[in-house]
Amino acid sequence: MAPTNFSGGTVNRRVLTPYLLLALLGVGVLGAVSYKRFAAVREFAQQATLARQDAERISTQVILFSEHKLAAGVNFSNAVEKLGVDPPTAAVIASSAQSVYDLRHVRAGNRLAVGRSVLGELRAVRYQIDADRMLWVIPLGLTHRVFHAEIKTILSTTEVAGVSGEIRDSLFNAVTDAGETPELAMRLAEIFGWDLDFYTDPRSGDIFRVVVEKKKYLDGQTAAYGRILAAEYSNDGHIYQAVLFRDPSGRPAYYAPDGQSLQK
């Protein structure tokens, strides 16, 4: 094969060809590495942007609540102050709340909460009026000079549950031992109050059974008891039973299985 002359020299094509192939291969490898590096940098930038957006969203939208139960004798404004709100702002919050709810009806034991952003900025004040209603007070703007107050319905569901227990010393203790509140014991005592004196009649070993409606919040916590649909109390071998029906006037009342009203 004849050599090729380049500027007075000769280069064998058989020698040149491998070098050209290596050069082209090198360019391809460098291009692939550069593309991967560019893609990695771009992905990192996208992840950093998303992280920054999440941080901004959390700092502005996420609300962290501090909550406590109202103590007896504490007015609404002072209770808000106890949760870290300065007195002037607490007074404005109370004034706004008063426009939609009479704060004289605020009850000890009900829950009050102050919500703040992760940066500590005041975002909301809420007070649970009862099992169905929540009072909200929201700042308008960042100056905390103007607030909007409204009462919202608390979303909940109702389920039917059975509760039973054995008396050792009192009905109240037996009900609380079963994981329920004293309210259920009081209502059970009212149902059988015409036949039993729950201060003197209960005996150790007595059994109670109740079928009751429970109103529950969407997080699963029990909000309140609904109707007691049926109840039974076994006292010293004698069984008392009650079933909820409507009387001829349409009013709900409790009856024994034989149709006799428990109200004598």
DSSP of 39-66: HHHHHHHHHHHHHHHHHHHHHHH--EEE
CB atoms within 10 A of CB 225: 19
Which residues is 184 bridged to in the sheet? none
Question: By percentage, how much of the chain surpasses pLDDT 70?
Answer: 75
Is the per-residue pLDDT at 154 higher than 60? yes
Mind listing the pLDDT tens digit for each residue in 182-238?
A: 999 999 999 999 999 999 999 999 999 999 999 887 667 777 899 999 999 999 889
Mind listing the pLDDT tens digit for each residue in 61-79?
A: 678 899 999 999 889 999 9
* pLDDT of the residue at 38: 60
Give the chain's mean pLDDT: 82
* pLDDT of the residue at 223: 76
Continuous H helices in the chain: 13-61, 76-82, 87-98, 171-177, 182-191
* pLDDT of the residue at 165: 96
Q: Given the structure tokens 């010293």, which residue do they identify?
A: 236
Two structure tokens written together for 87: 């007195």
| Mean pLDDT in residue range 120-142 | 91
* pLDDT of the residue at 125: 96
**CA-to-CA distance for 12 and 2, rounded, in angstroms?**
8
Nearest alpha-carbon partner for 65 in 92, 88, 91, 83: 83
Give the type of residue at 116.
R
Nearest alpha-carbon partner for 160 in 91, 92, 223, 229: 229
Confidence label for 7 from pLDDT (cuts 50, 70 and 90):
very low
